[in-house]
Amino acid sequence: MRHFIQATIISVFLFFFITGIKAQTTQTKIRQVSLENTEEFSIASKYVAGENYQIQVSLPVNYLSYDYSFPVLYVLDGDKSFGMTKEIADWLMWFAEIRDIIVVGISYGQGTDSWWEKRERDYTHSNDSLNAKGSLKKTGGADNFLRFVRNELIPVINKKYKALPDKNAIMGISYGGMLASYALFAQPDLFKSYIIIGPTLVWNHESILSMEKRYFNDNKSLNKTVYIAYGSEDSKGWVTKPTEDFIKNIQLHNYEGLKLTHQVLEGETHISAYSTALTHGLKILFRR
């Protein structure tokens, strides 16, 4: 009898112990952090083979009560950048420093390693000597990515939400900044405004600088609002020198209709410049 009682006590103890662990595990899975006024959906692209993009959308507070439409900011590197961009924009909208906007993050939703690899594919407009050395796995997919944005993403956003098609903008850092710079001259009708942060314009022998010069040969106007910024402590070879040259060329060409603002953020690095540049960029693009 004593052994039976001991066995029963042990069984009951194990039952509650295991049940407690399961309850904690279940609770941990349920009690996740969420962002207010956001939603998410996916788009299986026919332009980027095998890619199922995760699209995150942040709407202004009281969005449903408004009877008008909003500018849209498309955020590259949404896996890492959507939350920060949404919250900074919310603060600025709350204090009426910018007008109300819709924030759209373009994400992969497959973890950091996958995000890092796929951004190299989507944000680079050509191959580069680095790729030949094996440093990068797959590059040169910017045109396919922009086809996805133009033909699949933007039409869905314009249909599902109260968006202003002629007031859209793109924001990116590093390779994302390079992609935004590429779009500015390769497909200038795609976006109205640009936030370009620490772009890696050294890519492929600074080919975007050559593209800008070719664009100017045929076009003297560029009716866009562009904000470009980088940290003073960023890489001189990869970012600061080619970006300085890029800005000088654009200024020299003096495009009709272009509103260009550029900043060097003193003491900031490639990464630490991000939040400050984003804040300034939002205030310039979406000033009330």
Whether residue 153 sits in one domain with residue 255: yes
Distance CA 99, CA 288 (A): 5
Cα–Cα distance list, 66 to 34, 62, 87, 100 (Å): 24, 7, 20, 11
Distance CA 130, CA 251 (A): 30
Whether residue 20 sits in one domain with residue 84: no
* CATH at residue 200: 3.40.50.1820
Whether residue 18 sits in one domain with residue 142: no
Question: pTM of the predicted model, to two decimals?
Answer: 0.88
What pLDDT score does 12 carry?
40
Strand 163-173 with 102-107, pairing: unpaired
Whether residue 255 sits in one domain with residue 141: yes
SS3 38: strand
Whether residue 159 sits in one domain with residue 25: no
Domain that holds residue 60: 36-285
How many domains is the chain built from?
A: 2
Q: How much is the average pLDDT of 41-50?
A: 97
Whether residue 156 sits in one domain with residue 170: yes
Is the model's pLDDT at 23 over the cut of 90? Answer: no
Distance CA 151, CA 46 (A): 10
Whether residue 127 sits in one domain with residue 1: no
Condensed to tens digits (0 to 9), the pLDDT of residues 84-111 reads: 999 999 999 999 999 999 999 999 999 9
Condensed to tens digits (0 to 9), the pLDDT of residues 224-258 reads: 999 999 999 999 999 999 999 999 999 999 999 99
Whether residue 27 sits in one domain with residue 88: no
